[in-house]
Amino acid sequence: MPEEYKMTIKKSIREKGKIRLSQYFQKFKEDDMVAVTREVSLRASFPERLQGRTGKVKGKRGRAYIVKIKDQKKEKEFLIEPSHLKKIKQLVR
């Protein structure tokens, strides 16, 4: 796909600039539910199709987390940095 047709994601005027340090250094435990929300100001090391998906944290490798996400029909593991993740509260049934 040519670059001029690619949809770009922009930040609102209040969100522009450096990211918060708490977002950059956030910690997750094993089996935490997280949503993949791409931080536009940092380089993402995962495919664009994962934007908005949810998954479980399976561990940590270096400064990135191993996140298990169902992609199409298969469950796959992706290495995603914490600045691109957002914790989700789990519903208790």
15 confidence band (pLDDT: 50, 70, 90): confident
14 in a domain, yes or no?
no
76: domain CATH number is: 2.30.30.70
17 in a domain, yes or no?
no
11 in a domain, yes or no?
no
Domain count, the chain: 1
pLDDT for position 24: 84
Alpha-carbon distance of 83 to 6, in angstroms, equals: 23
Per-residue three-class SS string for 10-62:
CCCCCCCCCCCHHHHCCCCCCCCEEEECCCCCCCCCCCHHHCCCEEEEEEEEC
63 in a domain, yes or no?
yes
7 confidence band (pLDDT: 50, 70, 90): low
Instruction: Show the domain range for 84.
Output: 29-93
